[in-house]
Structure 1
Amino acid sequence: MSINETLSDCRFCSVLSQANGEDPIGSAGTPEHYLIIEAAPPWSVEIWLEPQPMPQQVLDALSFVWERGVKIRQLAIAPDCEYSQPGYTRILYYRRPAGLFAKFQKLEFIVPDDLVGSLAIALLKQPNDLPSFEQYRQKTDHIRELLVCNHGNHDAACGKFGYPIYKKLRSEYAASGGQLRVWRCSHFGGHQFAPTLIDLPYGHYWGHLQPEMLDLLVRRNGSVKGLYPFYRGWAGLSKFEQIVEREIWMQEGWDWLNYHKAGQVLASDEANEKKYADWAEVRIDFTTPDGSMSGAYEARVNYSPLATQSRELSIALQQPRPKNKTTRNL
């Protein structure tokens, strides 16, 4: 980006974030559920509090889980002339599995428009009613969904920088009838890292995306280290755990994405009056998909605020020590 381009875009938080060298790691959301509904843009800032374009039953279902402290990320996706059907609405629902996991569990439905609210109630509030929607269920567990934030009404940077990334992904990578779909979606946090993307069913978050790194992100056909500065983290882990998981991934390579894993913070500097904790000791347990190897990485993360928005990271990662079969330290 040239100096003139930087100056002309200086009002955008994402441009300032990149100029300050802000590392996006640790900023991924950590929902237990994703509720994703087709809805034509433009989307208002208060899309999830207004009965348009979402039916009131959708808002009621969300209120039900919010009141119970359930962590859910609700998203709108723009209909696509190839993917979508007039008179019908697509609903994607992802749920975090119990224990160690690599991917979120997926359900997809395409229902008549007048059944959107009823299905949302069944998914979030009355699961015993789900069998009545079985005829609308889609067999798409094999399809990878890339959601690029294009919610310009929420943050101008997401609209300005998100659409070109969406357009390139949609036109060059999402072939008709393939195993990848690309969507414009509503805001999911971290607009200072625009353009941002969620990769489902894995739950990887990306930020500060650049066109030249999309081939590596989609096709996974080169060194993982090229993705290091763009990775916001994995939704299955908390902030400090996400920081450690990135280091493990850089060491293990692409196979790591399919390892079943879980994290825990063993000890940390309680933030108290500070906005940020300064350090944490973290453990990441893992097992290979076939169960032939399992273990745990342990690491200490020092996370010191700088004068700018960026953070200085120091990570001591121990090689894994065996746990039945193997554990590693970073």
Structure 2
Amino acid sequence: MPPSTDQCRVLSAHRGDPILGTAFPASRVLLVEQPGGWGAAGLAASKFDPTIAKRLIANLGLHGIRVLAIRRPGRQPAPDRRSWGFADCQPGHRGIVWGTFEEDRELLLFDPETVLARGFASAQAHIPVFAVCAHGTHDVCCAVQGRPIAAALERLRPGQVWECSHVGGDRFAANVLVLPDGQLYGRVPESAVEDVVAAAEDGRVVAELLRGQVGLAPAVQAALAYAHHRLGPYRIADLVVRSAETALDGTERVRLGTPAGEVTVTVVVESGETALLTCRAVAMSTPLVYRPVSMAAVQAG
């Protein structure tokens, strides 16, 4: 069946909405397994206790942690003990740790600082996890596009894939978040699934699908994605953010360290096209667009 022409992803692609710099601002993520359906509010509108969910989301939000509901691709029975995963996506600190819980209230005892203090020494902490937004009650595009991508990833890497709740950017579906590296991809077609997996396992990115790295300022995300596209197959760890500042002309100047020396990427920030940005939107919005326009080598001295 052809896609509906009024779906937000179709309209967004027709407008050519840029995807750079659109990853969410939290650098740490708590994944909470909750099988079954989710309402528009995700974990707080599911069979998970809503009062506990709201407290958990509010408490962790104070620490800059985003909470995502997750479930296994396809129709899976609820396990006796559900999983939680905590990922730190900050450069130099990346890792993910897993645990289980039986009662919802157990997660109110979750202490991110204690988890971080233990570190991410185990091999499992660095195995890529693929969280695919399939939150259909938030936006139908996420379910229509996300579920087939999650299924395709699951066929390639069984057990490393979850469907997840809203990650932002519904119009860029299918959206795939790779943890713990924190790379968020948009408009992922099934033909690119193998490339996404290969890149994640080699510590690289698929530059043409990259929305950005979570936890970074939008202009920095855009500059990094642009550098990956321009400079070739560098690994994620090869590009280091040195500084970011707003120039007198209003552009953002992001200085990056690379194996070949430092470069400065200039990013223009401008207003995008005013439109209904999601399938559920009832009011027009004007997004900011982050457009890298140039890269220059930093002269020594």
Q: Is TM > 0.5 for Structure 1 vs Structure 2? A: yes
* SS across alignment from 1:220: helix
Query: Could you say which residue in structure 2 is the equivalent of 1:210?
Result: 189
2:184·2:210 contact (CA, 8 Å) conserved in 1? yes
Residue type of the alignment partner of 1:72: I
CA distance in 1, matches of 2:291, 2:73: 41
CA distance in 2, matches of 1:258, 1:168: 27
Map of 1:10-159 to 2, 5 A cutoff?
10-49=5-44, 52-54=47-49, 56-66=51-61, 68=62, 70-79=63-72, 86-97=79-90, 101=91, 104-111=94-101, 113-114=102-103, 116-124=104-112, 127=114, 140-159=124-143
> What is the Cα deviation at residue 166 of structure 1?
1.2
Residue type of the alignment partner of 1:46: A
- Cα 1:300–1:81 shift into 2, 3 Å: closer
1:294·1:322 contact (CA, 8 Å) conserved in 2? no
Percent identical pairs in the alignment equals: 20
CA root-mean-square deviation? 3.6
TM-score, with normalisation over the residues of structure 2? 0.79
- Residue by residue over 1:83-137, the C-alpha shift from the partner in whole angstroms, topping out at 9 and shown as x without a partner, is 998211111001244xxx25633221123x12x533443324x849x99xxxxxx
Query: Could you say which residue in structure 2 is the equivalent of 1:328?
Result: none
- Residue by residue over 1:44-101, the C-alpha shift from the partner in whole angstroms, topping out at 9 and shown as x without a partner, is 11234458414644532332233x4x3221111114699998211111001244xxx2
* SS across alignment from 1:199: strand
TM-score, with normalisation over the residues of structure 1? 0.73
Counterpart of 1:300 (choices 241, 266, 269) is 266
* SS across alignment from 1:60: helix
- Residue by residue over 1:204-241, the C-alpha shift from the partner in whole angstroms, topping out at 9 and shown as x without a partner, is 001111111222221139xxx99444210112421111
Q: Unaligned regions of 5+ residues in structure 2, if any? A: 276-286
1:78·1:185 contact (CA, 8 Å) conserved in 2? yes
1:9 and 2:4 equivalent?
Answer: yes
1:239 and 2:214 equivalent?
Answer: no
Query: Could you say which residue in structure 1 is the equivalent of 2:282?
Result: none
Deviation beyond 3 Å, 4+ runs, structure 1: 47-52, 54-59, 79-85, 225-229, 251-255, 293-296, 303-314, 320-323
> What is the Cα deviation at residue 264 of structure 1?
3.7
CA distance in 1, matches of 2:8, 2:32: 28
Residue type of the alignment partner of 1:183: W
1:37·1:77 contact (CA, 8 Å) conserved in 2? yes
1:313 and 2:291 equivalent?
Answer: yes
2:20·2:291 contact (CA, 8 Å) conserved in 1? no
Map of 1:184-203 to 2, 5 A cutoff?
184-203=163-182
CA distance in 1, matches of 2:222, 2:72: 34
Query: Could you say which residue in structure 2 is the equivalent of 1:326?
Result: none
Residue type of the alignment partner of 2:246: A
For structure 1, which segment, 204-213 or 225-234, has the greater mean C-alpha deviation from structure 2 after superposition? 225-234
Q: Unaligned regions of 5+ residues in structure 1, if any? A: 132-137, 271-277, 287-292, 324-330
1:25·1:231 contact (CA, 8 Å) conserved in 2? yes
- Cα 1:294–1:127 shift into 2, 3 Å: farther
Query: Could you say which residue in structure 2 is the equivalent of 1:283?
Result: 255
